[in-house]
Amino acid sequence: MPVIPIKTHRELLDSRQPGCGMPGELFGRQDVFETDMDVFFHKLWILVAVTADVPEPGDVYAIDIGKASILIVRDDDENVRAYRNICRHRGSRLMKNAGKASVGMLVCPYHQWTYDLDGSLRHTSHMGKEFDANCRSLIPVHIKVVGAHIFVCLADEAPEDFSKLETAMTPRFAPHDMQRTKIAYEMEIIENGNWKLVMENNRECYHCGATHPELTQSFLAHDFGFCPDGQSEAALHDYEQYLAHNATRKEEWEKDGYLCELFESLDESVETNFRSQRLVIAGAGESQTMDTKVASTKLLGNLQRRDLGDVHMWGHHSWTHVMSDHAVVATAIPIAPDKTRVRTVWLVHEDAIEGVDYDLQTLTEVWVATTQQDAELVGNTHSGTQDPGYVPGPFSQYTEGELEQFARWYDARLKAHGV
């Protein structure tokens, strides 16, 4: 039997035709997955939680990122901190399972070393006079809070270009006062696909018209993309009207102080990959709901206007939509080459009351349905890419340009880390 040499990760990257999808092995191979975890989830800034996950002092949220586990903690001074979920004695997890708890101190379940919420080791027994507790504090993790978004970086040195995201997003989120929100609902789904397919799917709306009847209620006709080739005069005119409508809305918002302009940091040189824009919503123009009106009559922050569109932001493993009345924040954390945990939270004003200010079904139905539909699409595609007969096909330059950018960025980041 001839031995077929296994391609290296670099050879697989180099084998991608420009303008086409990635080879299937980049989605399915265990070694590729492990390198992806190391580079894209342990070295770059990642979005792991929202401030409403830890609303009160003593609240702790444990999150697994591959082999790493981190604790997001609200300390007694209401600061949000992040630590490695590792006891400084013999390495036990302080919180065994991912999830939330409310504690006075962090007590290791093994020999009860006890840590303050600021990470300092407060109590041990049987360690003797020579033992210096000061050098056994919990290991801190880089953390940044932007709006309601809690980002962490597990690398020793965090990428500095995160400052671009901070600078761009802080004023965009500010009118929505995202830290004065609470979680109205959260949903976790395990998608049967590689994380890169989850993100490719999120970055294009080529599929939206045929697959997302709920989400597209709030979309304008040409939000799915427009290919001018072979179009009638009337269709081209219609597209111009669409562009003019968007421009007018944005001008009005900008005049009132709401930032709208497209901001993107996606090219091969950046470490922190993200994009943001205030998008126009169809119909009543208010929210991503079935009737395009607000789901919560208690608007975010001190907003008075309902028709503020959708401040969207996506990064290399997350997507966010912020409307006047609520926000939807989703993160995709890989758990295996073919398994990705997608967590979605719905944020409303912290004083909004279910049944009075909002109806939960109305608030959540669009993105619950959309997430389930996307999971199905991603699982189906992952399966196809693992078929020995799979040959990557071309992206549409009119609707899938950001997939090509993502593929190039993915390649460049790996190259920068020696792959």
Q: For binding to ligand FES (CB under 6 A), which residues are involved?
A: 87, 89-92, 108, 110-111, 113
Nearer to Fe ion, 319 or 409 (CB): 319
Nearer to ligand FES, 89 or 339 (CB): 89
Q: Least distance (Å) from ligand FES to the CB of residue 299?
A: 46
Beta-carbon count within 10 A of 355 CB: 7
Q: Which amino acid is located at 178 in the chain? A: M
Indicate the residue among 286 and 374 with the shorter CB distance to Fe ion: 374
When the beta carbons of 138 and 154 are compared against ligand FES, the nearer one is: 138
Nearer to ligand FES, 41 or 113 (CB): 113
Q: Between residues 110 and 398, which has the closer beta carbon with respect to ligand FES?
A: 110
Q: What is the number of other CB atoms lying within 10 angstroms of the CB of residue 90?
A: 10
One-letter identity of residue 77: D
Number of residues that bind Fe ion (CB under 5 A): 1
DSSP 127-178: --TT--GGGGPPPB-EEEEETTEEEEE-SSS--TTHHHHHHHHHHHHGGG-T
Query: At which residue do the structure tokens 């600078």 appear?
Result: 167
Query: Which tokens sit at 310?
Result: 């959708």
Distance between alpha carbon 226 and the CA centroid of its chain, in Å? 26
Q: Does 357 bind Fe ion (CB under 5 A)?
A: no
Among 374, 400, 402, 411, binds Fe ion (CB under 5 A): 374
Nearest Cα residue to 159 out of 144, 148, 171: 144
Q: How far is CA 255 from the centre of its chain?
A: 30
Q: CB nearest Fe ion: which residue?
A: 374
**Residue 89 binds what, of Fe ion, ligand FES, none (CB under 5 to 8 Å, by partner type)?**
ligand FES
Identify which of residues 271 and 374 has a Cβ nearer to Fe ion in the complex.
374
The residue range among 110-118, 168-176, 333-341, 372-380 that interacts with Fe ion, by the rule CB under 5 A, is: 372-380
Instruction: Residue 259: name its binding partner from ligand FES, Fe ion, none (Cβ under 5 to 8 Å by kind).
Output: none
CA dist., res. 51 & res. 61, Å (int): 10
List, in sequence order, every residue forming a beta bridge with 354; answer none if it has no partner: 358
Minimum distance, C-beta of residue 208 to Fe ion, in the bound complex (Å) = 6
Q: Which does 110 bind (CB under 5 to 8 A by kind): Fe ion, ligand FES, none?
A: ligand FES
* φ, ψ at 70 (rounded to 5°): -125, 155
Burial label for 266, CB within 10 Å (0-12, 13-18, 19+), is: middle
> Which of residues 177 and 214 has its CB atom nearest to Fe ion in the complex?
214
Question: Is residue 312 classed as helix, strand or coil in its secondary structure?
Answer: strand
Instruction: Pick the closer one to ligand FES by CB: 123 or 237.
Output: 123
At its nearest, how many Å lie between ligand FES and the CB of residue 106?
A: 10
**Min separation Cβ 85 and ligand FES, Å:** 11
Structure tokens at 62: 């444990």
Q: How far is the CB of 190 from ligand FES (least distance, A)?
A: 30
Least Cβ distance, residue 104 to ligand FES (angstroms): 17
CB of 101 to ligand FES, least distance (A): 16
The backbone region for 119, taken as left when phi is positive above 0, alpha when psi lies in -120 to 50, beta otherwise, is: left
Based on its alpha-carbon atoms, the radius of gyration of the chain, rounded to whole angstroms, reads 23
Q: How far is the CB of 123 from ligand FES (least distance, A)?
A: 10
- The rounded distance, in Å, linking the Cα atoms of 358 and 184 is 10
Q: Which does 374 bind (CB under 5 to 8 A by kind): Fe ion, ligand FES, none?
A: Fe ion
Smallest gap from residue 132 Cβ to ligand FES (A): 16
DSSP character for 127?
-
Structure tokens at 25: 């092995």
Question: Where does this chain bind Fe ion (CB under 5 A)?
Answer: 374
